[in-house]
């Protein structure tokens, strides 16, 4: 079993005394992995949180394609090992100027925000795995109104300045030896 020395990683940002809840914006993390140069092993990530925190819950938010069997198996696996998986079916948004054009969308920011607020009594430390600046007001609310310790995990290429200003920051690259697939 791998020994974690979190003090060397980020000066022991994670709070081991109180309960910790982790909320993962899968889309943001998926795109961040391109800059990391490695893929995150979500079982190893779960084990990392179990070792470094008093983990109360870990959530995973993602859009899904009902035709994609491999994705369904992966999401089932996450649930089996302990993640609370929240999904939304991917929508195709047509481009009004191009009949055959468009893009796929499946944002779960509102669902993530609702879970953070609805479960606020279950944790003292709130870890957000996302660099999306849209979450800055949520972090400010949790910190100022509810007294939560707020931590953001992302890559240096995907973290917004707004999040850095209102939370402690952990760069996924510094956790490579613990979470790499």
Separation CA 24–CA 30 (nearest Å)? 10
Domain ranges of the chain: 12-94+110-179
Per-residue model confidence (pLDDT) at position 33: 79
* pLDDT tens track for 99-120: 665 444 568 899 999 999 999 9
- CATH architecture entry for 12-94+110-179: 3-Layer(aba) Sandwich (3.40)
Percent of the chain predicted with pLDDT > 70: 82
DSSP letter for each residue of 77-131: HHHHHT-EEEEEE-EEEEETTEEEEEEEE---HHHHHHHHHHTGGG-SEEEEE--
How far, in Å, are 65, 90, 97, 111 from residue 93 at the CA level?
A: 14, 10, 12, 20
Q: What is the mean pLDDT of each run of 10 residues along the chain (181 residues)?
A: 41 70 91 83 95 95 86 94 93 62 67 97 95 94 94 89 91 91 89
Is the distance from CB of 128 to CB of 21 less than 8 angstroms?
no
* pLDDT tens track for 8-26: 434 456 667 789 999 999 9
């Amino acid at each position: 079993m791998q020994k974690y020395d979190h003090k060397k990683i980020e000066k022991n940002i994670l709070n081991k005394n109180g309960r910790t809840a982790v909320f993962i914006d899968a889309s943001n993390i998926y795109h961040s992995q391109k800059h990391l140069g490695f893929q995150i092993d979500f079982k190893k990530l779960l084990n990392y949180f179990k070792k470094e925190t008093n983990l109360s819950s870990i959530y995973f938010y993602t859009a899904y394609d009902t035709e994609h069997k491999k994705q369904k198996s992966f999401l089932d696996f996450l649930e089996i090992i302990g993640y609370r998986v929240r999904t939304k079916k991917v929508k195709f948004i047509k481009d009004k100027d191009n009949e055959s054009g468009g893009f796929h969308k499946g944002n779960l920011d509102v669902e993530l925000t609702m879970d953070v607020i609805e479960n606020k009594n279950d944790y003292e430390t709130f870890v957000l795995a996302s660099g999306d600046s849209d979450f800055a007001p949520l972090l400010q609310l949790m910190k100022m109104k509810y007294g939560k310790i707020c931590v953001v995990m992302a890559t240096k290429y995907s973290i917004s300045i707004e999040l850095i200003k209102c939370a402690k920051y952990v760069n996924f690259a510094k956790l490579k030896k613990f979470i790499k697939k």
